[in-house]
């Protein structure tokens, strides 16, 4: 996976805006994982996009838009919330972004 020129916030904002363009009324995005190797100038960020359940059309739309984008923001999986009465899905995306400089 190549280096994403977007920031973590820009990745989240892109996913939310794209989900809205795809018909989702109130998507939310949260960062669920940040990893960085020692001596690396990049870090991998995993973002969960939270949407209504059973929305395969939206998922297809999001994957297509991510593939069309110059930066590498890729779909890596999904999960259905089975622990409550909420009907939501989590779509997980990953991007490699520049790590913040220390000091």
For 31-83, write each residue's pLDDT tens digit.
999 998 878 788 899 999 999 888 889 999 999 998 887 778 899 999 887 77
Helix and strand numbers (H, E) in the chain are 2, 4
CATH topology of domain 8-98: Alpha-Beta Plaits (3.30.70)
pTM for the complete prediction?
0.83
Do 89 and 97 meet the contact criterion of CB atoms below 8 Å apart?
no
Vertex 14, ends 9 and 20: CA angle to 5°?
Answer: 130
- Per-domain residue ranges for the chain? 8-98
């Amino acid at each position: 996976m190549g280096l994403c020129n977007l920031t973590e916030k820009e990745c989240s904002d892109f996913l939310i805006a794209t989900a809205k363009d795809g018909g989702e009324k109130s998507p939310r995005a949260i960062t669920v994982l940040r990893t960085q190797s020692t001596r690396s100038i990049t870090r991998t960020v995993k973002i969960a996009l939270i949407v209504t359940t059973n929305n395969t059309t939206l998922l297809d739309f999001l994957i297509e838009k991510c593939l069309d984008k110059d930066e590498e923001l890729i779909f890596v999986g999904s999960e259905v919330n089975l622990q409550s009465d909420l009907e939501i899905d989590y779509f997980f995306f990953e991007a490699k972004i520049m790590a913040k400089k220390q000091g």
